[in-house]
Structure 1
């Protein structure tokens, strides 16, 4: 058991006492910089069935949509969460708050999981940010659990194609560094959330099928392989705030790999004094293996390494 009355308590306890486990699992040779892990804990709310603490090679994200989809899928398909019928509602406790998920099931396999993210909001719009080697760009700051800097590809002159992955990584890490140097952010109801941790590059428009694309960078130069659940929610939040996406209209977000999440704004709300929205994201996950990790006491790199 990880001590703590809330998931944020558990996150902080694990961070302060077991960070070596994060390092071992998210760095080479057992993991890599592009891995995101989700630690399963007991629930902390009356409605929750389990809790998740998220971690990557650099930090402990407050929320991760695709990891939540993966955890629900894994627990149902391995029989650790009983499921009878075509749908199974699961409340997952996270450091950002409870997340409602609905697993869609066919022949004992989870075909998709719908997640209703915690309320999200635009914190600042059309902010100037100076990036060394690039110059001044205009960005928006959106919060979905944690803070995102949203950058239109028009600002940087890069197409959202796999070949530009290294350029997105390099530029993304520079933008995160400069955003934390030049911008001041603070969640209106969670005072400890005060840093920009993610940058999302997005195409400024959608095609006539409601399809858009993105590239999300965070952690230790991590380029998300998925469309990013929280990143998709951030994009929908931004589009809605600019009057470009109505409540209930489906939107399909595509990663550099071509994988897609479906999303929609389901309603409006308030987060402290700020206008916010609720967003539903639908995606799928697949079990790739069951792993047993070993730490040899003679290992010269007991906490792993990054190159």
Structure 2
């Protein structure tokens, strides 16, 4: 059956996206169809979107166009001299400062769609984010049909560091846990899975999501956090449940919970960075060593400590994370005037 594509012109306002998955975790890149975004820095743009354009997030991350576990990013022009493009991250609850799988997916999309020229097999891309400019490196292969395939992307975060160690946290309805708090693009509560009686498997994801949200709520009530250089970063937004690292293989496994009970399908880029920082602080992982970090689906990211630094008097690291992304669709989203759910919903 041949359908007339003039149907696309019947909708006056269309939002164009590229959808990908990164080690199983969704990413929806918003590339066209929204008003211009004011702000000199990407964080300024993040605040402007939250105050003036939150309908975009609600429409595209929540049902019926998205779901509780959808993650998205609005692509912007770069704000730094070296930047190739900027991105404002969002999920069903908030606007994160940084997202590792978002960097991997966005760089993959820009190269494979031909928006960035890949001059070498290893191409350098700088992405401007709310937490600063992120340097990345893409391994690119030319396919037989002349298309470019990005085999993997590695990115370096500006810093990650252990902030609080061995904290006692009372979680109503669940009991008391001994946790650590780590900064990696945002503040993580790190919970050994052995304390929970659960396992890092897909069938336990609903229980881990409920426990994770309870941990985040309790952490924000009982633990005081504030970035030593950026005082406006002062909340706990993510929890990471993790297994002990296999030291002989240098391999770990975790599940990360964020947003509105969002269960990360991937090993989580910032979550892997948080794990590197904690392992380094505990003396388990040294400079230059590689950790293979596994998510609940069995997919992996590779993480490495590239430098040891100081952040506001705290010992910190510069982590590098590598992973792969895959384009899954090109979409045109519309909103009819009488749609009863312009702001979406979650069940």
| TM-score band w.r.t. shorter chain | over 0.9
Shift of 1:145: 1.5
Q: CA offsets per residue over residues 67-102 of structure 1, 9 Å max, x none?
A: 110000001000011112201100111111111000
For structure 1, the residue ranges without an aligned partner over 5 or more in a row are none
2:296 matched to 1:261?
no
2:141 matched to 1:106?
yes
Q: CA offsets per residue over residues 32-66 of structure 1, 9 Å max, x none?
A: 11011011011111111111100000000010000
2:263 matched to 1:228?
no
Higher relative contact order (CA 8 A, sep 6+): 2
State which of 235, 239, 245 in structure 2 corresponds to 1:205: 245
Instruction: Output the CA distance in 1 between the equivalents of 2:313 and 2:120.
Output: 41
Alignment correspondent of 2:340: 300
Instruction: Output the CA distance in 2 between the equivalents of 1:179 and 1:218.
Output: 13
Shift of 1:207: 5.3
Shift of 1:157: 2.1
Q: Map of 1:1-307 to 2, 5 A cutoff?
A: 1-107=36-142, 108-206=148-246, 208-307=248-347
How many equivalent residue pairs? 307
For structure 2, the residue ranges without an aligned partner over 5 or more in a row are 1-35, 143-147
RMSD between superposed Cα atoms in Å? 0.9
TM-score by length of 1: 0.98
Instruction: Output the CA distance in 1 between the equivalents of 2:283 and 2:247.
Output: 16
Instruction: Output the CA distance in 2 between the equivalents of 1:133 and 1:111.
Output: 44
The structure with the largest alpha-carbon Rg is 2
Shift of 1:114: 0.5
Alignment correspondent of 2:14: none
